């Protein structure tokens, strides 16, 4: 992973060479890995994600003419526009950056232009919320440039702006977990979020001799290609058929009474998955790794069989991780590709990673990627020292 200092320096330097602008602010927002509670966010359920040390960095400088110019180390095409002319029709990667500026302007929080350059260490298309990290890094940088203080109200505004950009501009009908953890995560903890009450709390992780390993199958996942939306629609149908506001209110007995076999299985995943989240918090707290193994196994089976969002590469990675000594492993994120998450003894990281590499090679799959998910902090911006301001002409 590229270090934060390298990415920050790279973003500041790119802003200088591309636009002749000196950054006054650098925003940072992390990707995430979800420990448990999958597809439960848009069902008013519980989730337990962790912010990754991998993050997006947005170096930004203010302008006074309303013009917006944005480049990214990960994207070839720059975005150019005007703050007063942004709208929901922004396309491509710019949906996640200019889209956020549009929603912040709609909220009255950003009123002028800026120059911005982004760099990221979050793997793309790996189910690790690279898009939410881009949205939230963009938002905090823009708010920093606008001279605002990131208090809790503004943090909520950043989450809301990211969700609006994702659902209304990028047209991915996602549920809000990714933006929430990208903003509210605390270093060293997971974030327990209740999407019914809107409450969230930090769950300190005392992993001791254990760690969190993420394995990217490199099967690219997309949240805009219909699979995610169809699951969401099936969940909404199940709740409507039961006469409930959401599946958060459903019991297993009610779900088993649903007539449509597919809708019944989808709803069963949601109800059983929500019920696994608090026991996972307890098991993490008491270091009951056998219970973590059982909870992760049940969660993965539920996503594979009832929700049908796994793929053979994810199943193989999970089975191999557990067979090679992980306490627990499951697919994580939206599904249809992407990553698995394992909890395992520190001294098993190399052997588990090697076992997955070997199993993938033998199955004829491309090589996977591995990273350690040391729980990091949510979005923030840093103002650069006054003596560094505008040392080169704009």
Ramachandran bin of 147, using left for φ above 0, alpha for ψ from -120 to 50, beta for the remaining angles: left
Q: Out of 99, 334, 337, 378, point to the residue binding ligand GLA (CB under 6 A).
A: 334
Maximum Cα interatomic distance, the chain, rounded to a whole number of Å: 69
Determine which helix (DSSP H) or strand (DSSP E) holds 116, and give its type and residue range: strand 114-120
Cα–Cα distances (Å) from 262 to 35, 173, 245, 297, in that order, read 26, 20, 20, 21
Between 8 and 280, CB nearer to ligand GLA: 280
Pairing verdict, β 46-47 and 49-62: unpaired
Three-class SS state of 255: helix
Between 34 and 72, CB nearer to ligand GLA: 34
Between 175 and 337, CB nearer to ligand GLA: 175
Q: Examine the residue annotation and report whether 178 is marked as an active-site residue of this protein.
A: yes
**Which one of 65, 84, 153, 178 is the catalytic residue?**
178
Burial label for 256, CB within 10 Å (0-12, 13-18, 19+), is exposed
Query: Minimum Å distance from CB 141 to ligand GLA?
Result: 21
Residue carrying structure tokens 């698995």: 340
Tokens at 42, concatenated: 């848009």
Between 176 and 378, CB nearer to ligand GLA: 176
Q: Out of 62, 99, 328, 333, point to the residue binding ligand GLA (CB under 6 A).
A: 333
Between 15 and 219, CB nearer to ligand GLA: 219
Kindly determine how many residues on this chain lie close enough to bind ligand GLA according to the rule CB under 6 A: 14
Among 72-80, 170-178, 199-207, 283-291, which window interacts with ligand GLA (CB under 6 A)?
170-178
Among 15-23, 54-62, 77-85, 171-179, which window interacts with ligand GLA (CB under 6 A)?
171-179
Rounded CA gap, 68 and 70, in Å? 7
Burial label for 199, CB within 10 Å (0-12, 13-18, 19+), is exposed
Q: Out of 98, 177, 316, 379, point to the residue binding ligand GLA (CB under 6 A).
A: 177
Rounded CA gap, 59 and 8, in Å? 7
Query: Minimum Å distance from CB 36 to ligand GLA?
Result: 10
Tokens at 17, concatenated: 């060479």
Residues 182-241 binding ligand GLA (CB under 6 A) are 223
Is residue 130 a contact residue for ligand GLA (CB under 6 A)?
A: no
Between 41 and 115, CB nearer to ligand GLA: 41
Query: Minimum Å distance from CB 215 to ligand GLA?
Result: 17
Distance from CA of residue 291 to its chain's centroid? 25
Query: Minimum Å distance from CB 163 to ligand GLA?
Result: 9
Query: Minimum Å distance from CB 33 to ligand GLA?
Result: 10
Rounded CA gap, 283 and 292, in Å? 6
Total Cβ atoms within 10 A of residue 315: 17
Query: Minimum Å distance from CB 21 to ligand GLA?
Result: 32
Residues 15-74 binding ligand GLA (CB under 6 A) are 34, 38-39, 41-42
Between 15 and 343, CB nearer to ligand GLA: 343
Tokens at 134, concatenated: 């881009």
- Closest C-alpha among 76, 190, 177, 64 to residue 131: 177
- Interface residues with ligand GLA (CB under 6 A) are 34, 38-39, 41-42, 129, 174-178, 223, 333-334
Active site residues: 178
């Amino acid at each position: 992973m590229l270090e934060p200092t390298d990415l920050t320096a790279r973003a500041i330097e790119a802003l200088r060479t591309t636009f002749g602008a000196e950054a006054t602010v650098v925003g940072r927002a992390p990707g995430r890995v979800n420990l448990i509670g999958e597809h439960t966010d848009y069902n008013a359920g519980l989730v337990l994600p962790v912010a990754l040390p991998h993050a997006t960095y947005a170096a930004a400088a203010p302008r006074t003419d309303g013009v917006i110019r944005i480049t990214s180390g990960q994207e070839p095409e720059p975005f150019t526009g005007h703050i007063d002319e942004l709208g929901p029709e922004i396309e491509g990667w710019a949906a996640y950056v200019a889209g956020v500026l549009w929603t912040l302007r709609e909220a009255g929080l950003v009123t002028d232009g800026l120059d911005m350059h982004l760099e990221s260490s979050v793997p793309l298309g790996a189910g690790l919320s690279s898009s939410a990290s881009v949205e939230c890094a963009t938002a905090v940088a823009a708010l920093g440039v606008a001279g605002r203080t990131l208090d809790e109200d503004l943090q909520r505004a950043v989450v809301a702006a990211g969700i609006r950009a994702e659902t209304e501009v990028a047209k991915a009908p996602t549920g809000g977990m990714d933006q929430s953890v990208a903003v509210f995560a605390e270093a060293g903890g997971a974030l327990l979020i209740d999407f019914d009450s809107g409450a969230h709390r930090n769950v300190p992780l005392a992993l001791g001799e254990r760690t969190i390993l993420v394995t990217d199958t490199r099967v690219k996942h997309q949240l805009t290609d219909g699979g995610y939306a169809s699951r969401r629609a099936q969940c909404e149908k199940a709740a409507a058929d039961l006469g409930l506001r959401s599946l958060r209110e459903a019991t297993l007995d009610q779900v088993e009474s649903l007539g449509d076999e597919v809708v019944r299985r989808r709803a069963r995943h949601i109800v059983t998955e929500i019920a696994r989240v608090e026991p996972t918090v307890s098991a993490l707290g008491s270091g009951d790794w056998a219970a973590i193994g059982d909870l992760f196994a049940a969660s993965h089976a539920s996503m594979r069989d009832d929700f049908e969002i796994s793929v053979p590469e994810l199943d193989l990675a999970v089975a191999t991780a557990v067979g090679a000594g992980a306490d627990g492993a499951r697919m994580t994120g939206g599904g249809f590709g992407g990553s698995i998450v394992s909890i395992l003894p520190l001294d098993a990281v190399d052997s588990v990673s090697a076992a997955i590499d070997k199993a993938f090679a033998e199955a004829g799959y491309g090589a996977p990627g591995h990273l350690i998910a040391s729980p990091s902090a949510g979005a923030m911006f840093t103002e650069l020292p006054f003596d560094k301001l505008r040392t080169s002409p704009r």
